[in-house]
Structure 1
Amino acid sequence: MTDWMKSLPTAAQEYLEGRRLDEVECIISDLPGIARGKAVPAKKFARQEFFHLPDSIFYQTITGGWGEAAGDEGFIEKDMVLRPDMATTTAAPWTGDWTLQVIHDAYFTDGTPIPYSPRNVLKRVVELYRAKGWEPVVAPEMEFYLVARNIDPAKAIEPMMGRSGRPAAARQAYSMTAVDEFGPVIDDIYDFAEAQGFEIDGITQEGGAGQLEINLLHGDPVKLADEVFYFKRLIREAALRHNCYATFMAKPIGAEPGSAMHIHHSILDTKTGKNIFSDENGGETDAFFHFIAGLQNHLPSAIAVMAPYVNSYRRYVRDHAAPINLEWARDNRTTGIRIPISSTSARRVENRLAGMDCNPYLGIAVSLACGYLGLLEKEQPDAQFKGDAYDGEEAIPRELGAALELFDEAKKLHDVLGPEFARVYSIVKQTEYEEFLGVISPWEREHLLLNV
């Protein structure tokens, strides 16, 4: 093992023990959360301090198109400087040779961070907390589906075939038998996660056919976003080994529940290490209520980041395991903002609005940004909701166009996330939305062709 490898995270060193490293994947998240970058021979990586990619990767839509977001210089695709964060080094255990992955951070050539790089956006928000003497802590939950292979976009997505030879059954939430149906895939997920040094807090069957949830331990927001970014790839790779797909679409199957990325938040006082949501007697503090108020006041403007695609809004369906409003309550899964049962030291606020299709860096960043504004504004939330929140009025945008309009008007949110990020993000998402509006759907052809 060469000298530079001796400072790598323990899991990466153990993965390479007695083996020769062949390749290093130098990666960075674009706006959708796709890993972009280069694969380089290990010897070359050892010699390089950085590499270049064009800034246009942050202007690219999910379809491969481009948003006109390059600014006054025009679309010249100037180079960014990408520097490795060696603490993120981890195995790529599904590859045919011995390969490591390293997440990189993006900078302009003058050394300043690229403001619309998703990891930089999250770092910016975390630093705003730290400047106030607060340490944000998050715990994301990842919901996803294992589905049958589908290479025809016109064909409806179907559940995968389980080991019993029958399609995965719906409405079997928390069933261990249902989890066993996907045993070989789950075994590979565990094996890949162990090789990468990730600790899974648990895997459960959710309510949809072939829908699973993975919980991660709470911790630093950037580190947890890195893990979700890595997990999406490893889960997809595990599924492909067993002739199925893993999808993180918010609503892949119309009759089944959607997939969320619930985000749990708590905040520690930097000096004392204590949770600022609990007082000395274990009671709820003003900061606790201010954080909730921030979510209620600013989440409508943040939905365009947490629900970034037209499909995302199909998840927000009354009585279908997804919130339709911004009510808050203790131990109530029908509300958009839930306070789980916990000890006073672990008191936390759960945001249930974010979809699993969001970029994990941006989803966590914008959720923290809403809470941060609440802590600064020091307002009180609405009264705690009692009963089934699905009986309440809808209070969130129901389609991407309306969500983008709210986001564009949210100058306070832009100041926290970064105005330049807000500008680029809005242009790229509007471009995607217009691309979608140019597509005629099967529903339109079936019902309108001969009837209107």
Structure 2
Amino acid sequence: MPSETPEKKPARTTSTRRRTPAYVKATRGVKNWREASEWLAWRDIEDIECITPDQAGVARGKMMPSKKFTSNTSLALPSAVFMATISGDYPEDGHGFSYPEDDGDLKLMPDLSTLSVVPWESDPTAQVICDLVNKDGAAVEFTPRNVLKRVVAAYSKKGLRPVVAPEIEFYLVKKNPDPDYPLTPPVGRSGRAIGGGQGYSIAGVNEFDELIDDIYHFSEGQGLEIDTLIHEEGAAQLEINLRHGDPVELADQVFLFKRTIREAALKHDMYATFMAKPIQGQPGSAMHIHQSIIDKKTGRNVFSNPDGTESEAFRHFIGGMQKHVPASLVMFAPYVNSYRRLTPAASAPVNVKWGYDNRTTAFRVPRSDPAARRVENRIPSSDANPYLALAASLACGLLGMNNRIEPDAPASTTVNDNLIELPRGLIEATILFEQDKDLTAMLGQSFAITYAAIKRAEFETFMEVISPWEREYLLLNV
């Protein structure tokens, strides 16, 4: 009797094979916890960094195994984290600020739309940006991401949607473990130290080809999109421009880009610094912010009328910037070093003038078609917390639209030689910030009080340090 031939199973076809969902393959962000679990499992993620920006824009948070992250674990940080100065000290009570006696916890709420890998880690690691809420679930008003969300919500209530595009400048410098020594430019692939005057030089960019390749690679791994990268005027000073978009999403990108660029630089045995003025005699580093406002119903840029002419909203936005930016300077120039960049006859403006394609003004209107009409705020330094800089800039513009503030005439000549319309130092800027009640109300009173207290404390800490200038000119002469 012949042996029976085993029945062949039908071949597995594409239609019967379980396809990997698109959200699992997505480089950045998921919609819910189920998708997050699959996203992490598909990549064999071992650890996850739950991070949030503090008042300086420094990443704070906790790291944990990915299995614990997806098991409904409650995450919290002490409220003191968001009241500390850049040196780790805490403000004294006063000027409305009072340090909380219980130093209670603030709950970290992961924003799963920001989930991405950490491409420079050797072990499979992911990161997610978190918001802060109180025990009752209400947003913590004085944390930076919530401050920006508050301003964006104020636009939304009026049927408007802000669109921004930041440009971030930074320096590459030799490693400098001793802060008593000045920073110096690094050596590029040519084997020579990089000099200044390399604005828009392709050869200047090529000096750091391998490092820039890593920046692009790390950025792609996190779903961050660079629009352009150029060499600026300073020695080993670069600038990255980001695509325009939602303010919170763009602030998240700048927050992550700063981490990314620092890590790429360290991989190549150098530092990347976002100090406003890191090297004496070299240009400062800015974070210019391009801004336009969209009508949520029509999708139209409200800065332009249907016939393409400038709208009242456009003029009032600029008027609000002119009136309120001096009071918000402490959020654009947050440290004593920031004011070394803001000097007369330099590329950084110390005025509140505006003009068409005039880079000596604080508020430049680039050449564009009506649909792309926008206002560039050229005052912020690259050391600014991106969430707070965007919040302040947009708040000033919205106050102008709300109160129908008219701007002055546009400047058509150089206006940054002798005209000084901004505070010249940190403590002056802090006092002016506290006095602008319309601005602080829009940003949130608890934030304004906390932030001003931090800036006062940082100024007092700086005043304890004796500088080389004082030793050079005062030691034997006074």
| 1:263-303 residue CA offsets vs partner (Å, 9 max, x unmatched) | 00000001101000011111100110000000000000000
The equivalent residue for 1:214 is: 240
| 1:207-246 residue CA offsets vs partner (Å, 9 max, x unmatched) | 0001000000000000000000000000000000001100
Do residues 48 (structure 1) and 64 (structure 2) align? no
The equivalent residue for 1:29 is: 53
Instruction: Go from structure 1 to structure 2 and tell me whether the alpha carbon gap of 1:398 and 1:73 turns closer, same or farther (over 3 Å shift).
Output: closer
The equivalent residue for 2:27 is: 11
* Structure 1 range deviating more: 388-397 or 333-342: 388-397
Deviation at 1:10, TM superposition (A): 1.0
Whether the 8 Å contact between 2:97 and 2:449 is mirrored in structure 1 is no
The equivalent residue for 1:318 is: 344
Normalised by the length of structure 2, the TM-score is 0.91
Whether the 8 Å contact between 1:304 and 1:400 is mirrored in structure 2 is yes
Deviation at 1:76, TM superposition (A): 2.6
Do residues 200 (structure 1) and 216 (structure 2) align? no
Q: Secondary structure at the match of 2:310?
A: coil
Do residues 62 (structure 1) and 86 (structure 2) align? yes
| 1:104-138 residue CA offsets vs partner (Å, 9 max, x unmatched) | 00011111111111000000000000001110110
Deviation at 1:56, TM superposition (A): 0.4
Normalised by the length of structure 1, the TM-score is 0.96
Letter matched to residue 67 of structure 1: P
Q: Distance in 2 between matches of 1:304 and 1:18?
A: 44
Q: Secondary structure at the match of 1:357?
A: coil
Q: Secondary structure at the match of 1:391?
A: coil
2:257 to 214, 223, 231: 231
Do residues 403 (structure 1) and 429 (structure 2) align? yes
Q: Secondary structure at the match of 2:293?
A: strand
Q: Trace 1:258-269 onto structure 2 (pairs within 5 A).
A: 258-269=284-295
Q: Secondary structure at the match of 1:214?
A: strand
Letter matched to residue 346 of structure 1: A
Q: Trace 1:267-286 onto structure 2 (pairs within 5 A).
A: 267-286=293-312
Q: Secondary structure at the match of 2:187?
A: coil
Deviation at 1:49, TM superposition (A): 4.9
Q: Distance in 1 between matches of 2:450 and 2:99?
A: 14
Deviation at 1:431, TM superposition (A): 0.5
The equivalent residue for 1:137 is: 163
What fraction of aligned residue pairs are identical, expressed as a percent?
51
| 1:157-180 residue CA offsets vs partner (Å, 9 max, x unmatched) | 111111111111101100000000
Deviation at 1:7, TM superposition (A): 4.9
The equivalent residue for 2:35 is: none
Whether the 8 Å contact between 2:395 and 2:443 is mirrored in structure 1 is yes
Letter matched to residue 285 of structure 2: S
The equivalent residue for 1:147 is: 173
Letter matched to residue 275 of structure 2: M
Whether the 8 Å contact between 2:344 and 2:418 is mirrored in structure 1 is no
Residue-pair matches, total: 448
* Structure 1 range deviating more: 160-169 or 348-357: 160-169
Deviation at 1:6, TM superposition (A): 7.7
Whether the 8 Å contact between 2:254 and 2:386 is mirrored in structure 1 is yes
Deviation at 1:330, TM superposition (A): 0.5
- Runs of 4+ displaced beyond 4 Å: 5-9, 12-18, 69-73
Whether the 8 Å contact between 2:328 and 2:433 is mirrored in structure 1 is yes
2:464 to 435, 438, 450: 438
Letter matched to residue 53 of structure 2: S
| 1:188-209 residue CA offsets vs partner (Å, 9 max, x unmatched) | 0000000001111000000000
Structure 1 regions of 5+ residues with no counterpart? Answer: none
Deviation at 1:16, TM superposition (A): 6.5
Deviation at 1:74, TM superposition (A): 3.3
Q: Distance in 1 between matches of 2:25 and 2:115?
A: 7
Q: Distance in 2 between matches of 1:118 and 1:131?
A: 20
Q: Distance in 1 between matches of 2:433 and 2:165?
A: 25
Whether the 8 Å contact between 1:50 and 1:84 is mirrored in structure 2 is no
Q: Distance in 1 between matches of 2:240 and 2:256?
A: 13
1:84 to 67, 88, 110: 110
Do residues 359 (structure 1) and 392 (structure 2) align? no
Q: Secondary structure at the match of 1:47?
A: coil
Do residues 298 (structure 1) and 324 (structure 2) align? yes
Q: Distance in 1 between matches of 2:54 and 2:155?
A: 24
Q: Secondary structure at the match of 2:286?
A: coil
Instruction: Go from structure 1 to structure 2 and tell me whether the alpha carbon gap of 1:186 and 1:247 turns closer, same or farther (over 3 Å shift).
Output: same
Q: Distance in 2 between matches of 1:210 and 1:204?
A: 11
Do residues 20 (structure 1) and 44 (structure 2) align? yes
Instruction: Go from structure 1 to structure 2 and tell me whether the alpha carbon gap of 1:17 and 1:176 turns closer, same or farther (over 3 Å shift).
Output: farther
Deviation at 1:18, TM superposition (A): 5.7
Q: Distance in 1 between matches of 2:406 and 2:112?
A: 42
